[in-house]
Amino acid sequence: MEKKLQEGALLLRALGHPIRLRIAAGLARESACVMQIWECLDLPQAIVSQHLKVMKQSGILVSHREGTRVRYSLRTPEIAELVGLLHLN
């Protein structure tokens, strides 16, 4: 039980930044590569990459390589539901 609570707190902490919430809201609709994400957010690629790293380390995101690109998606449907509960989609 304690481990689950710690994991939940880590996930919520990672989603507690407005940029990361925007990323999660977009990825709740469809997976995307870094370039697509930073173009949608109109932010420098380096900033988006830093936020993606935090989200991946906290277990929010998974990634897979497609040629030279890395595509990101939310790890579970439950994370997408959580983002949906916040009415961000």
Q: Categorize the per-residue pLDDT at 4 as very low, low, confident or very high, splitting at 50, 70 and 90.
A: confident
Q: Which two tokens stand for residue 62?
A: 């998974």
pTM comes to 0.88
Instruction: Find residue 67's DSSP bridge partners.
Output: none
pLDDT band per the 50, 70, 90 thresholds, residue 88: low
In whole angstroms, give the CA distance from residue 10 to residue 5: 9
